[in-house]
Amino acid sequence: MFPKIKRKKTKVVKVGSVLIGGENPIRVQSMTNTDTRDVKATLEQIYKLHYAGCEIIRVTIPDEKAVSALKEITKKSPMPVIADLHFVTSLGEKAVKAGIAGIRINPGTFKNLKNLDRLIEVCKDYGVCIRIGINAGSLETKILKKYKTPTPSAMVESAINWVNYIVEKFDYQNIKVSLKSSNWWDTVKAYELFSKKSDFPLHIGVTEAGGLIPGTIKNTMAITYLLLKGIGDTLRVSLTADPVEEVYVAYEILRNLGLRTLHPDIIACPMCGRCEIDLMKLYREVENWAKNVKANLRLAVMGCIVNGPGEAKHADLGITGGKGVGIIFREGKIIKKVPEDQLLNEFFKEIETFLKEHPERLINL
Ligand code: SF4
């Protein structure tokens, strides 16, 4: 059972070949942390992220060299590339011409409106999606003067002003919006408020969320809260960690809400005194294996023969063992006993057999 979620019907926008908003799946994106000027390292990371399930990738463009590298990166990337632009609009114009599918700007940080106008014109000419990325830490002065602090209302006013500016002055609607703050509650309040006032699609997530554990918790709280309310069309789980982890966490959140599945779900017992097998090692190995599999499967890794198969009978397949014997079970019934050192190999073979019998469980992104 999953919660019933009624997604808000936002406008559909296009980042290259990927549609965002409306009834399209909630898209998972991430950002490279390589030096964009290093084409090889950046493409390597992009491919790893793509393989993990990332659908849109953002890269930073700090200078001309990074923009020059973009040509090859956009050509060889297996997914649409978004450029992250700060301060220098001319870099953005060149990035558009280098083949990016989207650009992330924080309009309040651009002092020269004429330059910004030119960038928007170029984006429109090339059909590049513009993300208006409002950040609580860099709101424009006139909004800050009005609100004193970067409250959710201040962030939303800034976002709405910029959306209207682009729509009215340029008649351009390929826009999505993010409203980020490192405080997860301010973040969700800003998104909720924006969602009441506008139909433009939202890129959700908490910025500067921290490392794997605290960052996952903060992001999960905010993203889950919003998705349960039907808000959010694409997401990035920002973590101070390998960006591949961002993608795994994103799918974990989406799966647990019944919104999207990509990798197998693994259930495991917390272990107790009955456990007679190296469960943590087994779990880690199954988890690493499952990251390379795209299928709607539930696997179980349990600590003892007495209770494991029964406790995990809702899993498609599972393993347990003890005293040198490994047990494989399917839908709660023991199907194989093998020496413990052959348990994983045999388990993976059984999963292959299961997937051959149930090809509908395989997922193509
Ligand atoms: S499956 Fe066995 S080892 Fe794991 S928690 Fe249950 S009783 Fe304990």
1 lines ligand 1 (CB under 6 A): no
pLDDT mean over 54-72: 97
Q: Could you tell me if residue 1 is inside a domain?
A: no
Predicted local distance difference test score (pLDDT) of residue 159: 97
DSSP string, 78-96: SS-EEEE--S-HHHHHHHH
275 lines ligand 1 (CB under 6 A): yes
What pLDDT, in 10s, does the model give residues 206-220? Answer: 988 899 999 999 999
- C-alpha distances (whole Å) from 198 to each of 130, 149, 186, 264 are 16, 23, 18, 36
pLDDT greater than 90 at residue 253: yes
Considering only CA atoms, which residue is closest to atom 6 of ligand 1?
307
* Mutation probe of ligand 1 site: the residue of 278, 282, 283, 304 with most atoms within 8 A of C-beta: 304
Q: Could you tell me if residue 251 is inside a domain?
A: yes
Question: Using alpha carbons only, how large is the chain's radius of gyration in Å?
Answer: 23
The last residue of a domain, from among 202, 225, 256: 256
Considering only CA atoms, which residue is closest to atom 5 of ligand 1?
271
Whether residues 125 and 179 share a domain: the answer is yes
Q: Could you tell me if residue 211 is inside a domain?
A: yes
The last residue of a domain, from among 226, 256, 286: 256
Whether residues 162 and 135 share a domain: the answer is yes
Whether residues 52 and 154 share a domain: the answer is yes
pLDDT mean over 133-138: 92
329: CA distance to ligand 1 center in Å? 15
Residue 123 annotated in ligand binding: no
Whether residues 47 and 181 share a domain: the answer is yes
What pLDDT, in 10s, does the model give residues 276-332? Answer: 999 999 999 999 999 999 999 999 999 999 888 888 889 999 999 999 999 999 988
Predicted local distance difference test score (pLDDT) of residue 296: 96
Average pLDDT taken over every residue of the chain: 95
pLDDT greater than 90 at residue 121: yes
Distance CA 151, CA 179 (A): 11
Whether residues 245 and 272 share a domain: the answer is no
Least confident of 70-79, 129-138, 305-314: 305-314
Q: Could you tell me if residue 4 is inside a domain?
A: no
Residue 269 annotated in ligand binding: yes
Contacts of range 302-305, beta carbons closer than 8 Å, 24 or more positions apart: 302/268, 302/269, 303/269, 303/271, 303/272, 303/274, 303/275, 303/276, 303/277, 303/279, 304/274, 304/275, 304/276, 304/277
Whether residues 73 and 156 share a domain: the answer is yes
Predicted local distance difference test score (pLDDT) of residue 20: 98
Q: How many domains does the chain have?
A: 2
Q: What is the CATH number of the domain that holds 30?
A: 3.20.20.20
The last residue of a domain, from among 256, 277, 301: 256
Predicted local distance difference test score (pLDDT) of residue 56: 98
Whether residues 271 and 251 share a domain: the answer is no
The band of 111, judged by pLDDT with boundaries at 50, 70 and 90, is confident
Whether residues 249 and 269 share a domain: the answer is no
Distance CA 247, CA 235 (A): 10
pLDDT greater than 90 at residue 52: yes
What pLDDT, in 10s, does the model give residues 6-17? Answer: 999 999 999 999
pLDDT greater than 90 at residue 116: yes
Predicted local distance difference test score (pLDDT) of residue 109: 83
Q: Could you tell me if residue 197 is inside a domain?
A: yes
279 lines ligand 1 (CB under 6 A): no
**Residue 355's domain spans which residues?**
265-361
322 lines ligand 1 (CB under 6 A): no
Whether residues 150 and 251 share a domain: the answer is yes
